[in-house]
Amino acid sequence: MVLDPRKHADWEIAEEAESRMKTVWQLADEMGLEKDELLPHGHYVAKVDFKKVLERLADRPDGKYIDVTAITPTPLGEGKSTTTMGLLQGMGKRGKNVIAAIRQPSGGPTMNVKGSAAGGGLSQCIPLTPFSLGLTGDINAVMNAHNLAMVALTSRMQHEFNYSDAFLAKQGITRRLDINPRRVEMKWVIDFCAQALRNIIIGLGGKMDGFLMESGFAIAVSSEVMAILSVAKDLKDMRERIGRIVVAYDKKGNPVTTEDLEVAGAMTAWMVEALNPNLLQSIEGQPVFVHAGPFANIAIGQSSIVADRIGLKLADYHLTESGFAADIGFEKFWNLKCRMSGLKPHAAVLVATIRALKCHGGAPMPVPGKPLDPAYTEENVEWVEKGCENLIHCINIIRKAGVNPVVCINAFHTDTENEIKAVKRAAEAAGARVAVSEHWLKGGEGALELADAVIDACEEPNDFRFLYELDTPLRKRIELIATEVYGADGVDYSAEALAKAKRMEADPEMQKLGVCMVKTHLSLSDNPNLKGVPKGWRLFVRDILVYKGAGFVVPMAGTIKLMPGTSSNPAFRRVDVDTETGKVRGLF
């Protein structure tokens, strides 16, 4: 029995579909995995030993590589994960050998307003409960590795402050690091949206209670350790990257790394198992890798390179997901992930909804947790046409990369024929293929038109190229992203950010790093309230962080924070457990 998404919640649909799931052994056999390459975590979830797979299939040519991104979303999201699952299922219906890679959801949005990011309706990743609630422990490993660096830092500061050189030498500490408490770069992390922890004081009490200083928390998926999980090529690469993490600076301005704190090896020990991608499945039984979990507005926002590498070896088509919209998720896929992986995409799917286009065209902003304004269920072609300015801008971002764009109209049952025709006209006039997909309502059968368009796009030659080369000065790179991708008139800097940028430009080591922007996902600009394609604005960079281990500098634009806040009507209010069966209810 297949449940109707218009009448049943996502968790109900997932629960019914889970009664028909393939075991991980069945899934592995269909994918062509060897028995010793599968590391089961129960009957329906496993990790895959990526090293063994890549060694065995080293000579096999890669399949076609497809990225899924979106137009600028509303706060409700526009269905990238749902579309990724639907496209996976649709291509499966066409008889294609296809695998998808999506990101692991953070407990922050899962228990807040966004939900678990498993997809929705008849296009979901299952089993839903483990997917949503920790999976095989990768995010927990990231938290432990990251916070261990903070334990090492704060204990070292306490001991150096309280004890003599002679005493420290007896403990095996032969060099004072002289850490500047005003230049500690890292914070602690937790995997919830906890605004009360953004700014804290630690070390209160006496001499034995730590070093007294300001500190704070960020959300776990914004951690540089999570970024490293996303981009690391193998365990050796991960170990080297973790050792390069800059935790603080000393009183002379020199960086203090995890290697200096002698904690990098222990941090890596927490991450060994996490480096293997997790294997789950779609509602219709296609394989899905779930690996890495960073947001694209405050981190790199990509599923992992290792998941993509094994997906491309095992399948003829591999789908990968980039967070949020084309201006941030796709831009980082383009200029960071592809540069680091050496992989080049054959096509990019740009997800659009009539709802988001209406929002960009003048409809009231949707508010999570509140009923949707009737404007979104009543026909208004004028708003849709106006909102298509944002769609066209995002198409052009993808075309700047030399990639073939396919616009997916992620259809809702309230969309009208005239509204859909307006989007088709705009997309085709901008030189993109366009397909209407009803995967949320109909699963793979509803995504056949989209599957055909993507398969067709993959056969067309493209001319992939980066927006900038690494010898381009830092401020010029930021300017290129701001003007060529976002549509800004230029870039302004706070005094602190400008001083940091100048220091980085003078450092040859920093010149090798990419640029990973932190910016709101709700606008092409740095102001979340500006919809459509804003004109006459300048990007404001207030700070620049260094993620030397991950391999990029992180300009912080606008007022966005690395620790989101929990809303007044969070999702956890609707999550509970059936005490008779132990099944979790209410996840979405």
User: From the first residue on, what is the mean pLDDT of each consecutive set of 10 residues in the chain (588 residues)?
Assistant: 88 93 97 97 98 98 98 88 97 98 92 85 96 96 98 96 89 92 96 96 93 95 96 98 97 96 98 98 98 83 96 98 94 97 98 96 85 90 97 98 97 94 97 97 98 97 94 96 98 97 92 92 95 97 95 93 88 92 88
Of 95, 51, 44, the C-alpha closest to 310 is 51
Beta carbons of 321 and 81 less than 8 angstroms apart: yes
The tokens for 295 are: 């947001």
- Distances from the Cα of 265 to the Cα of 9, 38, 241, 292, angstroms: 45, 26, 11, 20
Nearest 5 degrees, angle CA 92-CA 132-CA 406?
40
- Distances from the Cα of 158 to the Cα of 254, 344, 513, angstroms: 19, 48, 32
**What phi and psi values does residue 570 have, to the nearest 5 degrees?**
-75, 160
CA dihedral 516, 519, 524, 526 (to 10 degrees): -130
Give every CB contact of residue 487 below 8 A, 6+ residues apart in sequence: 393, 524, 525, 533, 534, 535
Of 27, 108, 58, 39, the C-alpha closest to 564 is 108
Q: What is the pLDDT of residue 109?
A: 87
How many C-beta atoms lie closer than 10 Å to residue 507's C-beta?
A: 13
- Distances from the Cα of 79 to the Cα of 20, 38, 240, 242, angstroms: 24, 30, 36, 33
Cite the residue boundaries of each domain of the chain with CATH code 3.10.410.10: 474-557
Q: What is the pLDDT of residue 108?
A: 87
Q: Looking at domain 10-136+274-458, what is its CATH homologous superfamily?
A: P-loop containing nucleotide triphosphate hydrolases (3.40.50.300)
Query: How is the beta sheet containing 539-547 ordered, strand by strand?
Result: 491-493, 539-547, 552-557, 514-515
Question: Whose structure tokens read 């496993």?
Answer: 46
Q: What is the pLDDT of residue 405?
A: 97
Of 333, 351, 315, 328, the C-alpha closest to 82 is 351
Report the length, in residues, of the chain. Answer: 588
Beta carbons of 452 and 94 less than 8 angstroms apart: yes
CATH fold for domain 474-557: Formyltetrahydrofolate synthetase; domain 3 (3.10.410)
Q: What is the pLDDT of residue 8?
A: 93
CA distance 588 to 574: 10
Of 132, 121, 123, 116, the C-alpha closest to 85 is 123
Q: String of b and e for 217-240 (b: at least 16 CB within 10 Å)?
A: bbbbbbbbbbbbbbbbbeeebbbe
- Distances from the Cα of 410 to the Cα of 87, 155, 239, 485, 573, angstroms: 11, 51, 41, 23, 28
**What phi and psi values does residue 141 have, to the nearest 5 degrees?**
-65, -40
pTM for the full predicted model:
0.95
CA distance 73 to 324: 7
Beta carbons of 338 and 403 less than 8 angstroms apart: no
Helices (H), 37-137: 50-56, 80-93, 107-110, 128-132
Beta bridge partners of 99: 318
Residues marked as catalytic: 80, 82, 103, 114, 296, 324, 412, 440
The SS3 call for residue 24 is helix
Q: What is the pLDDT of residue 177?
A: 96
The 8-class DSSP code of residue 482 comes to: I
CATH fold for domain 138-270: Domain 2, N(10)-formyltetrahydrofolate synthetase (3.30.1510)
Beta carbons of 217 and 563 less than 8 angstroms apart: yes
Residue type for position 60 = R
ω before 287 within 30° of 0 (cis)?
no
Cite the residue boundaries of each domain of the chain with CATH code 3.30.1510.10: 138-270
CA distance 515 to 552: 5
Question: Whose structure tokens read 């007294």?
Answer: 212
Q: What is the pLDDT of residue 425?
A: 97
Q: What is the pLDDT of residue 294?
A: 67
Cite the residue boundaries of each domain of the chain with CATH code 3.40.50.300: 10-136+274-458
The SS3 call for residue 588 is coil
CA distance 478 to 43: 47
CA distance 557 to 481: 12
Q: Torsion-angle region of residue 173: left (phi > 0), alpha (psi -120 to 50) or beta? A: beta
